[in-house]
């Protein structure tokens, strides 16, 4: 039976977080729907990562309610929340791979934690499958993180996040530090995994290209709460100054035109399938070059990327 795409998978209500005198969130509400890729944006330090940590139970809020798959996550012991934790995967900002373990061993960590009865042969088989699924060469499995490029490390982190076949994926700045071509390829990987596996994705990013390329809706954090959530055209229609500056500033416009070039490329590819890779890739690099110029011109006032 098809799943209800209006089902709320993550429900955050009245969230408050603070560190000492510093209030990060006040009365924050957010819903993530089944099957969507929700982009989460906001200036540096607005509390995007703290929000993600609150949802997955790594940060105990001062107040509020959070449910994931209808189950409360706040204040539950790790052992109590096992059934929900098995249903999500997380890619932290820096990849957070264990440097002393190989890629395959990293992927096996959640499997060993939740399914102790799995045989070594099966663990290896599942890890090998996840490694290939994220576009890494099969021979990446026995390598250590230090032996991989930044883009490959991201894919290894994603392979580990997918180890338990999650329904929900949390990604914290997955394309940060990747070159434009690598970032576009990673976006495409996330989109295709989300579509084929029916994943719901909570994606924190500063990457405007990612927002345009793969996000169904975008939530904007500012003033300690989610000030708006919607499609990019819906957000642009609001008059909040930060949203206007973000999407209608030089970098936002460059990303939008990159997307238009990509859409044109899709149309061309429908007629000439063999030309698609070069055209789309080129569109993104052009946008990113325009992006760089725009950032220089704007004095990087938005602090994106
Ligand atoms: N464990 C902690 N102790 C004290 N302060 C913290 C802690 N974790 C986060 N903060 C503070 O909370 C604020 C929000 O941090 P967070 O990492 O969520 O921001 P962010 O929106 O993800 O930023 P960025 O886009 O730069 O990654 C920051 O001012 C940060 O210094």
CA-closest candidate to residue 154, choices 84, 223, 227, 94: 94
Cβ of 163 less than 6 Å from ligand 1: no
DSSP annotation string for 136-175:
--GGGTTS-GGGS-HHHHHHHHHHHHTTT--SEEEEESTT
Residue 49 CA to ligand 1 centre (angstroms):
7
Helix (H, G, I), strand (E, B) or coil at 183: helix
- Sign for the CA dihedral angle at 148, 151, 155, 157 comes to positive
Residue 220's CB is within 10 A of a number of other CB atoms, namely 24
Question: Mean pLDDT, the chain, as a whole number?
Answer: 83
Cβ of 50 less than 6 Å from ligand 1: yes
Cβ of 21 less than 6 Å from ligand 1: no
Task: Report yes or no for ipTM above 0.95.
Answer: yes
What confidence score (pLDDT) does residue 223 get?
94
C-alpha to C-alpha distance for 52 and 303, rounded to whole angstroms: 21
pLDDT band at residue 112 under the 50/70/90 scheme:
very high
pTM of the model: 0.83
What confidence score (pLDDT) does residue 161 get?
94
- Structure token pair of residue 203: 């994606």
pLDDT band at residue 254 under the 50/70/90 scheme:
confident
pLDDT band at residue 276 under the 50/70/90 scheme:
very low
Is the pLDDT at 124 greater than 90? The verdict is yes
Is the pLDDT at 231 greater than 70? The verdict is yes
Residue 272 CA to ligand 1 centre (angstroms):
47
Residues 251 and 41 sit within 8 Å (Cβ to Cβ): no
- How do residues 65-81 score in pLDDT, each as one tens digit? 999 999 888 877 666 66
What confidence score (pLDDT) does residue 265 get?
53
- Structure token pair of residue 16: 């408050």
């Amino acid at each position: 039976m098809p799943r209800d795409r209006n089902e709320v998978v993550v429900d955050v209500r009245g969230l408050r977080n603070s560190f000492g005198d510093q209030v990060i969130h006040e009365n924050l509400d957010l819903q993530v729907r089944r099957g969507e890729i929700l982009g989460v944006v906001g200036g540096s330090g607005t509390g995007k990562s703290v929000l993600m940590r609150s949802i997955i139970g790594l940060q105990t809020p001062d107040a509020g309610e959070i449910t994931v798959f209808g189950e409360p996550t706040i204040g539950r012991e790790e052992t109590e929340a096992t059934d929900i934790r098995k249903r999500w995967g997380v890619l932290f900002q820096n990849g957070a791979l264990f440097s002393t373990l190989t890629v395959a061993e990293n992927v096996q960590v959640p499997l060993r934690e939740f399914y102790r009865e799995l045989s070594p042969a099966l663990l290896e088989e599942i890890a090998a499958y996840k490694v290939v699924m994220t576009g890494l060469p099969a021979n990446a499995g026995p390598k250590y993180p230090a032996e991989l490029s930044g883009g490959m490390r991201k894919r290894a982190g994603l392979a580990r996040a997918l180890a338990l076949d999650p329904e929900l994926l949390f990604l914290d700045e997955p394309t940060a530090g990747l070159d434009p071509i690598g970032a576009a390829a990673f976006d495409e990987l996330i989109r295709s995994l989300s579509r084929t596996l029916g994943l719901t994705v909570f994606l924190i990013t500063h990457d405007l290209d990612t927002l345009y390329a793969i996000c169904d809706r975008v939530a904007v954090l500012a003033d300690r709460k989610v000030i708006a959530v919607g499609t990019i055209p819906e957000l642009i229609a609001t008059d909040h100054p930060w949203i206007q500056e973000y999407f209608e500033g030089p970098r936002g416009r460059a990303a939008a035109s990159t997307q238009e070039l990509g859409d044109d490329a899709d149309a061309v590819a429908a007629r000439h399938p063999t030309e698609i890779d070069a055209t789309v890739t080129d569109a993104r690099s052009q946008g990113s070059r325009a992006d760089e110029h725009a950032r220089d011109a704007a004095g990087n006032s938005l602090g994106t990327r």
